[in-house]
Structure 1
Amino acid sequence: MTDTTTLSAPAGSTERPIIEHWVAGGPWSGASERSGPVFDPATGEVQKLVRFAAPGDVDHAVRVAREAAETWRDASIARRQQVLFAFRQVVHTRRDELARILTSEHGKVLSDAHGEIARGLEVVEFACGLGHHTKGAYSENASSGIDVYSLRQPLGVVAVISPFNFPAMVPMWFFSIAIATGNAVILKPSEKDPSAANWLAAAWTEAGLPAGVFTVLHGDKTAVDGLLEHPDIQAVSFVGSTPIARYVYETGTRHGKRVQALGGAKNHMLVLPDADLDLAADAAVSAGFGSAGERCMAISVVLAVDTIADALVDRIAQRMAALRTGDGTRGCDMGPLITAEHRDKVTGYVAVAEQDGASVVVDGRGIEVDGDPNGFWLGPTLLDRVPTASAAYREEIFGPVLSVVRVGGYEEGLDLINAGVYGNGTAIFTNDGGAARRFQRDVQVGMIGINVPIPVPVAYHSFGGWKASLFGDAKAYGVHGFEFYTAEKAVTSRWLDPSHGGVDLGFPQHT
């Protein structure tokens, strides 16, 4: 599958591949001449350019999608399932190809890229059960001779605005269910790593999805605002930072749309004195530094009870010493950050924490890497005794920085978690079942792990946090996903005479 078309680059730059929009079943340039750079984070070089949509491009893409939606909504459940199964098979068979694209533009190591694809395919597989998930309820003879039943029908054209950290998984969380339920989807991927979106679009075409049902519209705020304000977009799904999530929610709802906007996080892991400290240290390192900490479900704060804090910090530091940072294609444990600007922002938080009195136990600044020195590198960093008043504690860092805050016991740890503005994910490590049960009841967070550091729910449950981590009532995928992308009708029916369709001894078939 080809995801780029070579065109003349903007003045002042060398000619590079330009990633085009995907409209009506193939690459489309649109009218805009604006573009943005796509870096290889492991080398710091601009490897491609991506086309940025103009307002007229948004209108054209929506018009094409609206026409396709009018036909796709009438496709039978059996037909939609066939396309979904075929799409799943294309992605599964060619996952190595997609993983290389993710690593080349995001920087995550290949094993992490494969994990992202696998978790996205879980939702595709869940969506293949659309016949069960969209069936309504039926009440016979609710009144004399009257039956009442419900129907779930597609909304029309919906938009997905996805983040840079999961260019394949997060779109699959949303578009799988939206397409399964008969909608047309316009995906606006991050402009930082956009090629995966075009690869997925080509996979849909190969799977037999009609042209126009899946569109990729590249761009920046112009494209986002165009989708949020367009009268023919019925719903918007978003994942990103909390300030932008709030903006997307408020703008979309002001223009009459359904919106689910998943925001940022500051996930805590509470480690009690009875916990297995080796298990807790393994979990803290795995959840803190996977994907260079660029995960909304990353553990960024370890709340260690004083009596075991020294031992836990030592164990975490020992494990960090064995990590290898470098090019994601070389078998390293952790890759670069997405851009130089983001790397510098994360590094700034380390300096702030140090100024505020935190101890830098492991310093990832200036680390020697297995890769090009011009890449956007920051090694795993461990901060101890981080003051809760520090911006390094209060704000989402979104990088490979793990902070340790020492607490007197369970109650202090719980209070710190509940006092936070975010409520995305959390974890507790303990061998006390009573403490774990109390924690899951009392903590004010949407996704909870008990001796599990990254509690991302399986596809048949729903993903989403509380407080400033989620705007809107609907979480991602699971039951919430099927409800979000459909509108329910309630039908009250009475028929005075039974109908007769004639005799047919053939075995009934679904068409």
Structure 2
Amino acid sequence: MREIMHFIDGVAVKGTSGQHGEVFNPNTGEVQARVALASIKEVDAAVASAVRAQQHWALVNPQRRARVMFDFKRLVEANMNELAEMLSSEHGKVIADSKGDVQRGLEVIEFACGIPHVLKGEYTEGAGPGIDVYSMRQPLGVAAGITPFNFPAMIPMWMFGIAIAVGNSFVLKPSEKDPSVPIRLAELMMEAGAPKGVLNVINGDKTAVDAILEHPDIKAVSFVGSSDIAHYVYSRGTAAGKRVQAMGGAKNHGIVMPDADLDQAVKDIS
């Protein structure tokens, strides 16, 4: 059976936890792969790689970082069919919706291509007697993202695209239910010219999440998922001194028709 590994420091890593999750093909209901679940050791390795990479990546001028984003966008577009098929086989979306998932993520990458203008600071001459004021934008260091199963391409690109473009490195913990697309995106980011370690992907469960939230070298965490877990991520992350962006819920409106099974409808919507 195919085994899905972590992507750390530019290479596939099996991991040492001995724990695995099953990756189903929703189109057939069959298990199609096993995904390695990270231990604290894998999280530490991913963060150490990201720290090393970020020290050099932050010194790359914004124009060169933007060129990497341009090349990444080009590679994702060139591999759109592969990514859509991969996404469909693990999530269950039809190919058209899978391509839309990727395309919505690319829209953020397009914004990241213009990052040199966004990173401009400000200068005010004569703010007071003998006082001039200026501001500078500088990267934080290592950022992390914890993403849900429902948009395995779009939401990771929302997070790591901007973070990497501004000079951070990134550790991504995608859903273990459909992990292949995020790993492929990390491979394409390296192919686009990002140094190894700038984007690492670790697959895991609560053990990996807690390790991310507590790791002293991770300066910021972004999360998308359920409201309960968003509260958990926010409280644990901020208690550890991190900047945390926790987006929970995002439920759509639902209309229950008069002939519906009310108990089943409540269960499915909630």
> Normalized against structure 1, the TM-score is what?
0.51
Contact 1:161 1:239 in 2 (8 A): yes
- Does residue 359 of structure 1 match 2:256? no
Q: Which has the higher helix share?
A: 2
SS at match of 2:136: strand
- Does residue 147 of structure 1 match 2:101? no
- Equivalent in the alignment of 2:252: 267
Q: CA deviation at 1:301?
A: 3.3
Q: 1:83 to 1:265 in 2, by over 3 A?
A: closer
Matches within 5 A, 1:85-164: 85-164=70-149
Q: CA deviation at 1:392?
A: 4.4
- Does residue 50 of structure 1 match 2:4? no
- Equivalent in the alignment of 1:301: 255
- Equivalent in the alignment of 1:340: none
- Equivalent in the alignment of 2:165: 180
Contact 1:266 1:396 in 2 (8 A): no
Q: CA deviation at 1:31?
A: 2.0
SS at match of 1:256: coil
* Equivalent residue for 2:19, pick from 28, 34, 58: 34
Gaps of 5+ in 1: 1-15, 269-299, 303-312, 314-357, 361-382, 399-511
Q: CA deviation at 1:141?
A: 2.1
Contact 1:264 1:396 in 2 (8 A): no
Which whole-Å CA distance do the structure 2 matches of 1:87 and 1:131 have between them?
16
Matches within 5 A, 1:26-425: 26-268=11-253, 300-301=254-255, 359-360=259-260, 392=265, 397=269
Gaps of 5+ in 2: none
Aligned length: 270
- Equivalent in the alignment of 1:479: none
Q: What is the alpha-carbon root mean square deviation over aligned residues?
A: 1.7
Which whole-Å CA distance do the structure 2 matches of 1:235 and 1:37 have between them?
29
Which whole-Å CA distance do the structure 2 matches of 1:91 and 1:251 have between them?
34
Which whole-Å CA distance do the structure 2 matches of 1:52 and 1:170 have between them?
20
Q: CA deviation at 1:37?
A: 0.7
Contact 2:36 2:203 in 1 (8 A): yes
Q: CA deviation at 1:220?
A: 0.8
State percent identity of aligned pairs: 55
Q: 1:81 to 1:392 in 2, by over 3 A?
A: same
Q: CA deviation at 1:143?
A: 2.9
Contact 1:24 1:64 in 2 (8 A): yes
Q: Deviations over 1:151-204 (max 9, x none)?
A: 111110111000000000000011000001100000001000000011001100
Task: State the AA in 2 paired with 1:51.
Answer: A
Q: CA deviation at 1:145?
A: 4.2
Task: State the AA in 2 paired with 1:235.
Answer: A
Q: CA deviation at 1:59?
A: 1.1
Which whole-Å CA distance do the structure 2 matches of 1:230 and 1:240 have between them?
21
Structure with the greater alpha carbon radius of gyration: 1
